């Protein structure tokens, strides 16, 4: 249901009609109240000072003989306008403060978050009173004081909502496309947290109105000759036993106006559907510190880079701080090369470090994780993967020479933006194209990845695409430039078998026709070996096997973990009356491999299986027929 339809539906409900009536009444008083009753409210009658209710004055008069009801209606403009002004300033500054940690990051971002948390620890009204005393006794000072007081709470809300979106795949995709951090926050984060912020702003306006009235009641807000509901309440309290209406009428006005903003927030929440939006926070499991590896480091002669490697990395490490501050290594000294035109697969169990390795190559590792490497090279350029996981000077290659396809196709695209605009973003940022040129090129790329009616679907939202079409759109975004390398993090896991085959065929076609290298992460060994030319096997953060797909299909795996993975894959020849094999818990394949061949347990980077044909073991019965269909 569209927003306009939800609005109409909400307006037909009793709550919606009540909110509409209350808002219309309050708006009428703010705009026309002083115009209609301003002169009458200012008229004094010394003969009727502090009188009770009468036909001429339904709620009596104040100490100067002025009509209480008319003054209450006229005071609506100043009370509501000051509250809205404070809300606008406080919400705007709070949004900026809440988003700054995402933009700045690092130590500065942490200090900003710490400052927000300290501010939230103090009650908002106490902060408003304190700042009002410092700034002086005036309506403007009270407005600024209330705005400053609401900054911490609104900044914390904005930061929490933004952080829940910051871990989504489409944010990482924006980084890979080279979108600047500040533009990523404004274009991709803010639209996804906009609706809750709007709803909370409406409720906050009601709180600001009550706070402003409280400051005026204490003599810190509006000063004579001006008056608002808070000042009228303060003046009425001194005569409450003579004429209770002098205090009750402005007090009731404050309550009703506050409830109006609450009703508005409820209706906006129903219209914008904020209750249906879920927040996804990126989580990484803490693992126990692994035992010392029994494998020896490769010799210096094994570390020679491939002459034509599009990406080469040496001794890549990804770690996180343990519960006592000790580093917990998740990826432990991985070294490999990706040759030009090569399709390299990375396989292993969940938690083996496959995705972390891939994210490190793209510079997408963020705190509390840290990535580092002795050396790294991309497309002929030296990189430095620093402790914060950011490869130096790689950002200018994002979107042009480096593309990434994520696991969840729905999370890879920003749900608040059109698909076509996200695909065309690379052309606007890196290729110097005009908006029309970027649109035309994006439509061509959507057609290249076989999305039907690409011109019409250019303006559709991600939820209007199927899972396979969303994944193709991500590939189309990566192809806007001329990528030398595509990093694919389990791109077929969330898709059905038929769509998986289509995506694999598309990747194979891109590799064959364009010559783009591909790193393909997957749990499915059969898929990896049918698509890839070489396979990297990871276990407990180690690269335990670097073998050609042909040798792996033939069953020439050397490492016991690789052979165990192959043995768990059912085949057409697997007996149905025998339980499927599994990998036993607690098996230490590193120690087993070290015991068999300590010096050759980890193959040379960029090379396949180092064994010769004469030393290859016999083909495993459980794995030999696996790839028969794919190799025909």
**φ and ψ at residue 136, rounded to 5 degrees:** 115, 170
- The burial class, CB within 10 Å (0-12 / 13-18 / 19+), for 375 is middle
End-to-end CA distance of the chain: 49
pLDDT on residue 256: 93
Question: Does residue 262 lie in a domain region?
Answer: yes
pLDDT tens-digit map of 64-80: 888 999 999 999 999 99
| Domain CATH for 236 | 1.10.3720.10
Q: What is the DSSP string of 511-527?
A: HHHH--EEEEE-S-HHH
Q: Dihedral of the CA atoms 430, 343, 467, 182 (nearest 10)?
A: -30
Alpha helix locations (H) across 515-598? 525-531, 549-553, 560-567, 589-596
pLDDT on residue 530: 83
pLDDT on residue 358: 85
pLDDT on residue 144: 94
**φ and ψ at residue 309, rounded to 5 degrees:** -85, 130
Question: Are both 578 and 463 inside the same structural domain?
Answer: yes
Single residue among 255, 276, 297 that ends a domain in this structure: 276
Q: What is the DSSP string of 592-623?
A: HHHHH-TTTSSPPTT------GGGPPPPPTTT
Question: Does residue 498 lie in a domain region?
Answer: yes
CA-CA distances (angstroms) from residue 502 to 78, 345, 443, 468, 508? 64, 18, 20, 8, 10
Total domains in the fold of the chain? 2
Rounded-to-integer distance, Cα 507 and Cα 471, Å: 11
Question: Does residue 622 lie in a domain region?
Answer: no
| Domain CATH for 596 | 3.40.50.300
Rounded-to-integer distance, Cα 316 and Cα 373, Å: 4
Residue 532's domain spans which residues?
341-364+390-615
Q: What is the DSSP string of 104-132?
A: H-HHHHHHHHHHHHHHHTS-HHHHHHHHH
Q: Which of the residues in the chain have pLDDT under 50?
A: 274-306, 389, 393, 598-604, 606-632
**Mean pLDDT of all residues belonging to the chain:** 79
Rounded-to-integer distance, Cα 144 and Cα 153, Å: 15
Single residue among 276, 291, 324 that ends a domain in this structure: 276
pLDDT on residue 184: 85
Tokens at 81, concatenated:
């306008």
Name 309's Cβ contacts closer than 8 Å, sequence gap at least 6: 337, 338, 339, 340, 377, 606
From the list 469, 483, 478, 471, the residue with the least C-alpha distance to 514 is 483
pLDDT tens-digit map of 610-622: 333 333 433 333 3
pLDDT on residue 85: 94
CA dihedral sign, ordered 159, 164, 167, 168: negative
pLDDT tens-digit map of 513-533: 888 899 999 887 878 888 898
Question: Are both 404 and 552 inside the same structural domain?
Answer: yes
pTM: 0.58
């Amino acid at each position: 249901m569209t927003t306009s339809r939800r609005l109409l539906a909400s307006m037909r409900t009793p709550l919606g009609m009540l909110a509409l009536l209350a808002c219309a009444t309050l708006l009428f008083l703010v705009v026309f109240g002083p115009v209609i009753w301003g002169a009458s409210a200012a008229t004094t009658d010394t003969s009727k000072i502090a009188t009770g209710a009468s036909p001429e004055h339904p709620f009596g008069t104040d100490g100067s003989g002025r009509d209480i009801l008319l003054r209450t209606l006229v005071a609506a403009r100043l009370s509501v306008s000051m509250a809205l002004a404070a809300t606008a300033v406080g919400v705007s500054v709070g949004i900026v403060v809440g988003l700054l940690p995402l933009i700045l990051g690092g130590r500065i971002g942490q200090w900003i978050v710490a400052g927000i948390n300290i501010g939230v620890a103090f009650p908002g009204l106490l902060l408003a009173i304190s700042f009002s005393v410092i700034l002086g006794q005036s309506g403007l000072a009270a407005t600024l004081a209330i705005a400053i007081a609401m900054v911490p709470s609104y900044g914390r809300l904005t930061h929490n909502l933004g952080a829940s979106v910051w871990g989504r795949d489409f944010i990482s995709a924006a980084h890979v496309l080279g979108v600047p951090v500040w533009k990523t926050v404004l274009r991709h984060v803010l639209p996804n947290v906009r609706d809750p912020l709007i709803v909370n702003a409406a409720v906050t306006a009601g709180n600001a109105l009550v706070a402003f009235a409280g400051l005026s009641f204490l003599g810190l807000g509006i000063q004579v000759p001006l008056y608002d509901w808070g000042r009228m309440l303060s003046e009425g309290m001194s005569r409450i036993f003579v004429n209770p209406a002098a205090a009750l009428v402005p007090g009731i006005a404050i309550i009703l106006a506050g409830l109006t903003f609450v009703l508005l927030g409820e209706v906006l929440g129903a219209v914008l559907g904020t209750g249906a939006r879920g927040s996804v926070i990126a989580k990484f499991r803490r693992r126990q510190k692994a035992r010392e590896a029994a494998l020896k480091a490769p010799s210096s002669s094994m570390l020679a880079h491939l002459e034509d490697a599009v990406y080469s990395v040496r001794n890549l490490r990804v770690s996180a701080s343990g519960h006592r501050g000790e580093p917990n290594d998740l990826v432990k000294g991985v070294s490999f090369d990706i040759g030009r035109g090569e399709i390299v697969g990375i396989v292993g169990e969940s938690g083996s470090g496959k995705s972390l390795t891939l994210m490190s190559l793209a510079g997408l590792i963020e705190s509390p994780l840290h990535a580092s490497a002795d050396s790294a090279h991309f497309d002929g350029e030296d990189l430095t993967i620093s402790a914060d996981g950011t490869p130096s000077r790689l950002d200018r290659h994002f979107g042009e020479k480096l593309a990434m396809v994520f696991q969840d196709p729905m999370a890879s695209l920003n749900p608040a933006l059109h698909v076509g605009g996200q695909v065309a973003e690379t052309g606007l940022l890196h290729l110097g194209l005009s908006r029309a040129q970027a649109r035309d090129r994006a439509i061509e790329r959507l057609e290249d990845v076989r999305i039907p009616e690409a011109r019409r679907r250019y303006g559709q939202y991600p939820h209007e695409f199927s899972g396979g079409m969303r994944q193709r759109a991500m590939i189309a975004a990566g192809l806007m430039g001329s990528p030398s390398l595509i990093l694919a993090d389990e791109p077929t896991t969330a898709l059905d078998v038929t769509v998986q085959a289509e995506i694999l065929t598309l990747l194979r076609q891109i590799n064959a026709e364009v010559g783009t290298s591909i790193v393909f992460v997957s749990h499915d060994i059969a898929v990896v070996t049918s698509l890839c030319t070489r396979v990297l096997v990871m276990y407990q953060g180690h690269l335990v096997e670097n073998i050609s797909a042909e040798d792996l299909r033939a069953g020439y795996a050397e490492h016991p973990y690789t052979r165990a993975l192959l043995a768990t894959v059912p085949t057409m020849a697997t007996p149905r009356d025998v339980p499927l094999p599994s990998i036993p818990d607690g098996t230490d394949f590193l120690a087993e491999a070290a015991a068999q061949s300590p010096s050759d347990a980890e193959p040379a980077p960029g090379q396949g299986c180092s064994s010769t044909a004469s030393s290859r073991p016999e083909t495993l019965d459980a794995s030999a027929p696996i790839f028969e269909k794919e190799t025909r």
